[in-house]
Amino acid sequence: MSAINTLIEKINSSKTLDFGNIFSDSIELFKKTWVQGFLLQLFTLIIMLPLIIVLYVPLIAAIIAQQESGFGNNEAFENFIAGMSVFYIVFVVAGVLVLGAISVGLNAGFYRMMRKLDNNEQTNTSDFFYFIKGTYLSKIFVLMLASFGIAILAVILCYLPIFYVMVPLSLFAIVFAFNPDLSVGEIVKVSFKLGNKKWLLIFGLLFVSGLLAEIVGFMLCGIGLLFTAAFPYHPIYLIYKEVIGFDETTAIEEIGTSTE
């Protein structure tokens, strides 16, 4: 039986999962991974910083120019919009896709680290960058294009489908992390199959865990979001663990690669 058929069979025969158990287990796992979760947010912020600068520095310059005369000057904004060439727009879109792909690679690395920490194994900071290399990065980029296309299509269809596809899209990184040899099409297929099977559970856990992460983060003066933002990854990991699980041979191989 092929790898994808094995995954599909596991999803089809999966047991019913309890919302409360997954959520409480997520909190326990978060206690082991919060430092790595903080580093994930920090690395993501650093990677996105160049794009933020490219996007906002021209806008800030336009605002300053608007206020030079002491009153609103709509002409400054008109000149700013007119000055946005097609090249600039293409550059920004390409930047979003490339940096987004790197971010997905970091997320996939975080899932691998989460598995090790779940098994009380040691992790290294370099584990974050396990997938940030030519072997995998090109596939992640295509996966990013696929998710972008699916999201755009969902928006075109009157926005409502976005609530449906957000669940399978949230599974792309973890399916890739533990099945990097699958093709992009197979990763998408498995993600949608798992998303369909556990849609309500995943949506509910993402909503509750995301809301809790924001509330606790803001209670910690906003900076706490850097520590809590990774919490929603934990129920996704646990659902994957319970439904599909991990190949033991791969686990041994991963322990070996961590010492290289």
Q: What is the pLDDT of residue 83?
A: 57
Per DSSP, the three-state class of 242 is helix
Q: What is the pLDDT of residue 20?
A: 95
Region 209-236: mean pLDDT is 91
Nearest to 106 by CA among 131, 123, 86: 131
Residues 68, 70, 75, 76: is their CA dihedral positive or negative?
A: positive
Q: What is the pLDDT of residue 81?
A: 57
Number of structural domains (the chain) is 1
76 or 101, which is more confident: 101
Residues 42, 93, 102, 106: is their CA dihedral positive or negative?
A: positive
User: Would you state the torsion angle of the CA atoms of residues 191, 193, 199, 205, taken in this order, to the nearest 10 degrees?
Assistant: -40
Nearest to 39 by CA among 110, 96, 138, 140: 110
Lowest mean pLDDT among 1-5, 54-58, 248-252: 248-252
Domain that holds residue 96: 3-258
Q: What is the pLDDT of residue 47?
A: 86
Mean pLDDT comparison of 42-46, 134-138, 201-205, highest-scoring range: 201-205
pTM of the complete model: 0.84
User: Would you place residue 221 in the very low, low, confident or very high pLDDT band (cuts 50, 70, 90)?
Assistant: confident
Tokens of 202: 């995943």
User: Would you place residue 71 in the very low, low, confident or very high pLDDT band (cuts 50, 70, 90)?
Assistant: low
Q: Give the whole-number percent of the chain exceeding pLDDT 70.
A: 82
Q: What is the pLDDT of residue 51?
A: 75
